[in-house]
Amino acid sequence: MAPGHFMHPVRYPPLVFAAGYIFSVLYLTYAVVNSLYASYKSPGPVSNTRSRIHQRRKFIPVFSALAIAAFSIAAYWSVKSATLSYRTWSHQHGLDLDSWLRDENGKPITDTNTSIQQHIQLIANWLSDTPVYSDSLEIVAERARRFWWGQQIDLGTTAFSLILATEGRRRKIPLLTAFLALAHLVNLSFAQNLFFLALLLTPSPLPSGNEDLKLPVPPLPRSVWVRLRSGLMLPKPSGWVPDARFFYTAIILNSTLTLALPICAWSSAFTKAALLARASTFLPVLLPNIIPVNWGSVQRRPHGTYKSSTKLFKFLSTISLVLHVTISIIALLSDGPDSHRHRHIDILSWNVEKRLRWERSTTAVGKVLGSTLDHPAVAAVGWDVLLCALGLGVWAAVRSINARDIMSLSIPYYDSECPPLSGRARRKEIWRDEVLNFLESDEAEVRAAAQRAGSRGAMVAGSTIGSS
């Protein structure tokens, strides 16, 4: 087949989207890693203690390895999925890729420039015809047993967004939206492990003024970027938190859109529903920056806000439990003979007879768990679920979280309160809360800096803080 025999108009917006996708992944990863490296090289006075230095040296390599593994697995399955989509597109258009790379006389094209141009033209036509990102999302959502894996990532992303909005904002960690964007662009486990690194490097809140969105290389001229950021991000007093009803509304909205994904599959509304579901996860992170001050309150004692955060995560846990049980039941009951089929199945090198025999002999649970073999996009989601669970387990071990704390946040209406304390135990608990409130305030950084400045400076700083 001669190269000129296949002519198809190239649409440039999909090409720009694909290039922007790759650029965003690289740029946001660079920005986050650059921020983490800066925190690692310049820890705050409160963070630079012997126990925390030992903790960083011990666990930073662990979470770095988990992040690298998550990124590598996401890249591998993304390439596999894109290759399968490309081969399916060429098959549907009757293209023989080997013949396409031959001249009019049937001889292989030996000119390197011409060969590269032919490949670029094929890829451009494929991207013009195929919504690769949307197709991958729809393949996961269109079958109940594959969506069983997908909904775990969707609900996990909602929880991750709340953690960024609460713990990330409390510690004034920069680039919170970049962490969440990487959860969508790469995978959740990659962003989650990067955020765990940020928590290790920021055990106490950063000094005031360092929590703004600071990029090493702004995408716009710096003066324009600063004015845009200042116009969108309204200044808030220290200790300000938004009304919890905003977070509850965001949870309900995102859960509703997540449940709508399998309903909208196989229709033109799926892409809009998927984009809205992903955009809604940014609400908890963005709303505290753009809503007015009078739509929230100032918490003078940061440790006291944990009870309201616990109620918020219990509410999310209740919704997640209901959705997960519902989707699990539907996935177990959806036992159709074509449940493994999808739009790229004709290109997969399956042994059809062996696959059908496996479908007939495997239990419903086995089919749900084995759905990761249906398509590379499903395999990517399945690996993401496993890596997220591994990262959370390691983080629970790092923080010495006991079973009672885990059940308190994951089981609805579970009362984790211990029997009333008395005497010395009660005084110890009160002293612990006082220490946590002190370490979580800017006053800790001020006093630590004063001690480093010298005895005279420490006395002046102490008297100033005492008078305030």
CA-CA distance, 181 to 8, in Å (whole number)?
33
With tokens 């005492």, the residue in question is 466
> Residue 429 pLDDT more than 90?
no
Domain extent at residue 428 = 424-467
- Of 63-67, 186-190, 313-317, 405-409, minimum mean pLDDT range: 405-409
**Does any domain span residue 415?**
no
| In a shared domain, residues 461 and 381 | no
What is this structure's pTM?
A: 0.79
Average pLDDT of the segment spanning 412-427:
54
Structure confidence by residue, pLDDT tens digits, 301-338: 655 566 777 788 888 888 998 999 999 998 888 876 66
| In a shared domain, residues 437 and 389 | no
| In a shared domain, residues 398 and 429 | no
| In a shared domain, residues 227 and 268 | yes
| In a shared domain, residues 225 and 270 | yes
**Does any domain span residue 417?**
no
**Does any domain span residue 419?**
no
| In a shared domain, residues 344 and 442 | no
Burial class (CB in 10 A: 0-12, 13-18, 19+), 468: exposed
Number of domains in the chain: 2
Quickly list H helices, 93-187.
97-100, 112-129, 132-141, 144-163, 169-170, 176-185
Give the pLDDT score at 283.
92
| In a shared domain, residues 86 and 171 | yes
Structure confidence by residue, pLDDT tens digits, 152-210: 999 999 999 999 998 888 888 888 999 999 999 999 999 999 999 998 887 666 555 44
Is residue 187 within 8 Å of residue 36, measured between CB atoms?
Answer: no
Give the pLDDT score at 91.
75
CA-CA distance, 182 to 186, in Å (whole number)?
5
Structure tokens at 340: 């493994």
| In a shared domain, residues 285 and 329 | yes
CA-CA distance, 434 to 210, in Å (whole number)?
25
Give the pLDDT score at 303.
56
For residue 318, CA distances in Å to 156, 164, 166, 244, 423 come to: 13, 20, 19, 17, 36
| In a shared domain, residues 315 and 442 | no
| In a shared domain, residues 220 and 288 | yes
Rounded to the nearest 5 degrees, what angle is found at the Cα of 124, between the Cα atoms of 81 and 341? Answer: 30
**Does any domain span residue 50?**
yes
Give the pLDDT score at 260.
92
Under DSSP, the state recorded for 441 is: S
**Does any domain span residue 416?**
no
Structure confidence by residue, pLDDT tens digits, 240-270: 778 888 899 999 999 999 999 999 988 888 9
Structure confidence by residue, pLDDT tens digits, 42-51: 665 555 565 5
Burial class (CB in 10 A: 0-12, 13-18, 19+), 400: exposed
**Does any domain span residue 291?**
yes
> Residue 107 pLDDT more than 60?
no
- List CB contacts of 27: < 8 A, sequence separation 6 or more: 217, 219
The DSSP result for 317-356, as a single string, is HHHHHHHHHHHHHHHHH---TTTT--TTTTTS---HHHHH
| In a shared domain, residues 441 and 402 | no
